[in-house]
Structure 1
């Protein structure tokens, strides 16, 4: 039986075909055929349907997934000191990660040279008058229902986290509410998967429009965008993770890197930190971490530690603002950092969720969601790298917490024994995220 193409391969193929078709469309002499029939006809219809489908998922996904993420705080409460330290580590490194991405984007300016502002149907609504203090004050919604209807992302995030924490504090009496949200979360994730199964069609239409309008000029900014993300991931891995590891553990990094290859190979090949969860747990235990620590920190990290994803969201937001010639003030930039950091609490390892969460970040500061079409194709490549960084952060945090709790076996850490028994079937059955 003929093997079906994976979604990743379909998106790559759609990206290539869209670019080729766009170049061919650019050479068509008849404006009626090129503009009326192709670009403003079926290409516009397909791209708008796809983008509207993504927009459709933003509010329900953010509200439900963040509520579920915050509701899991009962585990953090039960573990007390360990839970608090783990939560602080994950949130602080995520904030640092997106800040690195934003600073590099503002410095390197990957989107300069590709002006697509003339393609916007409506002008972006970037508020330059509100200070960051106003942004913080306005986070608290006066009417949560109205916030959901209007798509006020920071207010939705605040209310979702507050609701989730309240559910966890009530405990058993709110178990039915928690179960309802978790079931609803599963349903919404399935809808996201259905929507993303049509991503190749949307990518084809969006790439056709981009290359028909800009030609090969679109390539250089995209390459610069990829470079900024990869460079940000490298800086975060070496200096933030490496620095914190050395500062808090006083251990040599070499044994860690040697043993981390095992989960990293799975995460990189599947672009999913969830896919490597069993192997990651096994690996940190081989490094000397007590199972009572790792069984909490690693699964929690797969849920809320999304440093690589946060870097992508920060870089992508700045890139899109530059491409569409939108000037972001300091309050808007700080809002991007705050939104992406808070959103990491509920970002799940499901295909397409990263792009939906990016659209949420864009909406929070009024940037055009159409910009997602530029980066969706190449995002599948970058996803492998950032997922690996996410898992590295989980492992680094776990070792630091274990060391601080005096439940770390140093002799085991420096041992050269590495269990390489990984079930191939487990790897092959995983999906991209």
Structure 2
């Protein structure tokens, strides 16, 4: 007579096999490109509108959780540093590695731009550009960190100001000690609730991919993309060199680990970043894979949220370097050594201006205004931005996983056995089940 366990096993074996999540996203990508092409060539307005709505709803759902997620993630991560030895040194080393890898990335971007001349032969003219609706300057960057009230940063989604308030609150909680524990307990619970809700949104990524890619193809078409072929290729090549060249080299030489488990373990976060174009939206997945790669939970819960808002090798290093060269060539403005040094400075110091959101317009305008290049050049790049932003964000997130591994290895707190096993861990199937909150609320990546 069959037992209950046998019956349960029989039911599970009779189910259709789960389709890996990366395949779901790939299918969404292909289907979106096909529907976008059909909508544009056959001139089917309702299909184009449907794709646009699907993509915008997915991005809006991601953004809906951004403000509270960033606040509570930063707050909890700072207080979690109490549980880590040499917390100040860990934080300092993390920041230094963020800056060092950004420096390498921006130099690669400048070298590629100098070799390929992405603005030459495009057929674009200054008349094709238009002033951006949102700009950035150093004065705005420095003075805009401090909010005028506690509500506006959340309603206007000013991530930099939210990070500032969360950091101040976290520092105050550390100073208060046990008296702040009731507030921290609530914060951890809210963080878990937000992450659980965000996991549900993440499961919609294949559908969101279909809408976002379909809208891009239907709106811009292949002809317009062809005008930016060199620029787009430069971004993908530059990001690929950083992701598949620089990062593995650092893992091999600094952390003394093989790069292959990193790519296998971090792939779920990288692919979701490629689709969603949001470092913050990908943060729960990024934190989960970082912990699976052997980084201690207490340190990962600080480094990943910190990196999701400040570590932008794609958006804040490679992209502004190439974009500045592209705009300068379109507007026939010569760039010298001084301008190249300024690009490096802006990329390394001003990367927090990107704030982990979709797109990098603020960082680009900050770079162009520093170089005294026409801001109308931003308008030239908006058409290709969705295509370029996918690879940029994937590079951002890869770097946000690499740096904690490097720091943990140097501090001798990296679980090397867990790192080696991470290549066998998959984040496919039922994401909500695999990443459901377990244990205490001090494990933000668990849900």
The TM-score bracket by the shorter chain reads 0.5 to 0.7
Change (3 A) 1:207 1:251: closer
Would you say the 8 A contact 1:112–1:221 is kept in 2?
Answer: no
Change (3 A) 1:319 1:152: closer
Post-superposition CA distance 1:316-360 (Å, at most 9, x none): 1110111121112222222222223322123223345x1233122
Would you say the 8 A contact 2:129–2:376 is kept in 1?
Answer: no
The answer to whether structure 1 residue 91 and structure 2 residue 75 are counterparts is no
Q: CA RMSD in A?
A: 4.2
* Residue of structure 2 equivalent to 1:397: 403
The answer to whether structure 1 residue 321 and structure 2 residue 321 are counterparts is no
* Residue of structure 2 equivalent to 1:365: 371
CA distance in 2, matches of 1:158, 1:120: 31
Change (3 A) 1:152 1:72: farther
* Residue of structure 2 equivalent to 1:284: 290
Superposition TM-score, scaled by structure 1 size: 0.61
CA distance in 1, matches of 2:325, 2:149: 33
Would you say the 8 A contact 2:273–2:393 is kept in 1?
Answer: yes
Would you say the 8 A contact 1:359–1:372 is kept in 2?
Answer: yes
The answer to whether structure 1 residue 185 and structure 2 residue 153 are counterparts is yes
* Residue of structure 1 equivalent to 2:89: 81
Would you say the 8 A contact 1:111–1:221 is kept in 2?
Answer: no
Superposition TM-score, scaled by structure 2 size: 0.59
Q: Within 5 Å, give how 1:235-314 maps onto structure 2.
A: 235-310=241-316, 311-314=318-321
Post-superposition CA distance 1:249-293 (Å, at most 9, x none): 111111111111222222222122222222222212222211111
Post-superposition CA distance 1:152-199 (Å, at most 9, x none): 9345545667xx6xxxxxxxxxxxx7xx566433333379xxxxxxxx
* Residue of structure 1 equivalent to 2:137: 153
* Residue of structure 2 equivalent to 1:36: none
Q: Within 5 Å, give how 1:55-70 maps onto structure 2.
A: none
Q: Within 5 Å, give how 1:129-148 maps onto structure 2.
A: none
Post-superposition CA distance 1:293-324 (Å, at most 9, x none): 11111111101100000211111111011112
Other structure's SS at 2:248 match? helix
Would you say the 8 A contact 1:154–1:339 is kept in 2?
Answer: no
The answer to whether structure 1 residue 377 and structure 2 residue 383 are counterparts is yes
Equivalenced residue count is 309
Change (3 A) 1:288 1:190: closer
CA distance in 1, matches of 2:237, 2:299: 31
- Ranges in structure 2 where 5+ consecutive residues have no aligned partner: 1-31, 44-73, 160-215, 434-447
Change (3 A) 1:238 1:157: same
- Ranges in structure 1 where 5+ consecutive residues have no aligned partner: 1-8, 21-69, 123-150, 165-176, 192-202, 427-433
Change (3 A) 1:422 1:97: farther
CA distance in 2, matches of 1:76, 1:160: 27
Change (3 A) 1:117 1:76: farther
Would you say the 8 A contact 2:295–2:404 is kept in 1?
Answer: yes
Change (3 A) 1:358 1:277: same
